[in-house]
A and B are shown apart, each in its own frame.
Chain A
Amino acid sequence: MKDLGRKPLRVVNVGLEIFADELKNQSVAVTQVRWRPPAGGKPHLLEILEKLEELDK
């Protein structure tokens, strides 16, 4: 964590784009994620995806 504040911030923004805009105004590099609810937001599919992800690890 010692690097925090020493190295320039480089941000991934997942969600409200207003936050990315405010960072860009401060000359901070931002990658905006085009986020959509995973598995189309269907809880049972999401659960299956999470189980598959656990199996991958």
Chain B
Amino acid sequence: MRLAREIRKKPGVSEMAALMGTPANHEILYQAGLTEDSLDAGPNDLVLAVEADSGALALEAIEDAKVILTQARAAGGEASDFSPSSLAGALAAAPDSNLAMISVPGAYAAKEAMDALRGGLHVFLFSDNVSVDDEVALKREAIDRDLLLMGPDCGTAYIGGVGLGFTNVVKPGRVGCIAASGTGLQAVASQLDALGEGISHGIGVGGRDLSAEVGGLMTLHSLDFLADDPDTEVVVLISKPPDADVLPEIESALKNFDKPHVVCFLGAENPDWAETLEDAGHAAAAILKGESYQPENFFAQAGLRERIASLKPGDALHGAGVLGLFSGGTLAHESRLILEDLLGDVSWNEETGRHRILDLGDDRYTVGKPHPMIDPESRADMLAASAADEHVGVVLFDLMLGRGSSPDPAGPLARAIKEAGGKGRRPVFVASVVGTADDPQGLDAQVGILEDAGVVVLPSNAQAARFAAALVKPELLGVG
């Protein structure tokens, strides 16, 4: 995806997308206005779509892209490892395989996943655009075979200390997680790591598992697995609230679950459940230490008023807007819930509204572009642009570290923020970083880069959202 980034830097080129010519991608490109209605490209073709000031500039950009692609292929050379052309071939070559990771386009993913299950493999299904009918069929097949089907759209999992997909480097430990989302699991796993605890297994069940259609099939199956797992002492459930028809079944399963557990259904109102990802991590760690956990009142903490006053004296930001630019979908969702509770209406993935949250990992922002966790550049451009928006008083964002993420996600964002600062007026930038000391990027190093650029870095996503709210609504301070 360096390709798209390089081409977008060219003068007169505003957008560049590079994707496989699958029917789904044809539709995406058409919806994005990047193609006419007929496109003569098949799934074996790479489509390069460019938006430029003129046809000549666009053609020039395409020629440059071809050169970059040819160079990349030459540099890649021949693969030294044996690489079969099918799943069946892989199983013949390595019959002791026990897990398949599948990340092919959605239209083909269900068949590959079913073949893997029938071959006796657990499946980590990263692909999205898998139909709900296929999801149900796959999960039933998995349960019949006593296998895990993680996903679809599963970004993160831990199995026996191994991180699958986008994972933070955490210690193996005693907490088993069942999570609908990748970044929610990453946040809780990293929080536990900071508290000295580790993960036994982290099972991603996909964002639709607790819907009425899927009925919590894999959540319930995973609970059975963790109940029998000798390494797991405490279980954490992380998801949006289950469908009303599914909730009783989950509650009943939890009632009969004989290990201590923490439920974090973001947005659900139940005093026995953790309200935030941070609370979920703390609550699980407290159980293991034999302690009780009571969340602190963020707004009543000592020194907060002074810290806020030092950033923006007086009421300079009173009534200004908060703009959230997120790479983690669950972190975006959690921030939205917190800000709505504290500030009122918050728009979601829209260009209008005083307070706005953009989930930049959403399909609409990633057409032909890498996810912002992989390539921070497009978010850096948005951070810079936000400084010029007079309605934005606070820019709130997350940073995801770990395997699979950009090697330096803070760098480009910090540069953009510093450049924005040179142009006079600037909002307050507030962030949180999901990561651990052992992540390839290094938690302290990345926090340091942001702080050097003047970003206020809070210890959790929830605290960052509350801090942002207090900046634009100082009357929250000291309130219970």
A residues in contact (CB < 8 Å) with B? 1-7, 9-16, 18-20, 22-23, 25-26, 28-29, 31-38, 40-43, 50
Contact = CB atoms under 8 A, between A and B. Distances in A.
Nearest to A42: B42
Contacts, number: 135
Interface in B60-90: 79, 81-87, 89-90
Interface residues on B, range: 35 or more
Contact of A10 (B21, B98, B161): B98
Contact of B84 (A19, A23, A26, A34): A34
A42 to B, nearest CB: 7
B101 A37 contact: no
B403 A35 contact: no
Interface stretch (B224-232, B277-285, B442-450): B224-232
Contact of B108 (A13, A16, A29, A38): A38
B369 to A, nearest CB: 15
Contacts of B112: 14, 35
A19 B165 contact: yes
Given A12-B99, A31-B84, A36-B85, 12 more contacts: A11-B100, A12-B87, A12-B116, A12-B121, A14-B112, A22-B404, A23-B164, A34-B84, A37-B22, A41-B22, A41-B43, A42-B42
Interface of B: 21-23, 42-44, 79, 81-87, 89-91, 93-94, 96-105, 108, 111-112, 116, 121-122, 126-127, 146-148, 159-165, 167, 200-201, 225, 228-229, 231, 403-404
Chain A contact residues, majority secondary structure: mixed
A53 B357 CA distance: 47
In order of increasing CB-CB distance, the 5 nearest A-B pairs are: A41-B43, A15-B103, A5-B160, A37-B43, A31-B90
B442 to A, nearest CB: 16
A12 to B, nearest CB: 4
Contacts of A33: 83-87, 89-90
Contacts of A50: 111
A19 B104 CA distance: 12
B305 to A, nearest CB: 44
Contacts of A38: 108, 111
A5 B201 contact: yes
Contacts of A25: 403
Find the residue from B83, B100, B101, B122 having the highest chain A CB count within 10 A: B101
A20 B126 CA distance: 13
B99 A9 contact: yes
B148 A4 contact: yes
Contacts of B146: 1
B108 A9 contact: no
B93 A31 contact: yes
Nearest to B225: A1
Contacts of A7: 98
Contacts of A36: 44, 85
Given A12-B100, A19-B126, A40 B42 contact: yes
Contacts of B225: 1, 4
A1 B148 contact: yes
A41 B42 contact: yes
Nearest to A35: B104
A13 B121 CA distance: 12
Contacts of A42: 42
Nearest to A50: B111
Nearest to A20: B101
A42 B43 CA distance: 8
Contacts of B403: 22, 25
B126 A16 contact: yes
A18 B101 CA distance: 11
B159 A4 contact: yes
A45 B404 CA distance: 35
B394 to A, nearest CB: 34
Nearest to A10: B97
18 contacts: A5-B231, A10-B99, A12-B87, A12-B97, A12-B121, A14-B103, A19-B101, A19-B126, A22-B163, A25-B403, A26-B162, A31-B93, A33-B83, A35-B85, A35-B104, A35-B112, A37-B43, A37-B104
A31 B85 CA distance: 11
Contacts of A35: 85-86, 104, 112
Contacts of B116: 12, 14
Nearest to B165: A19
Contacts of A37: 22, 42-44, 104-105, 108
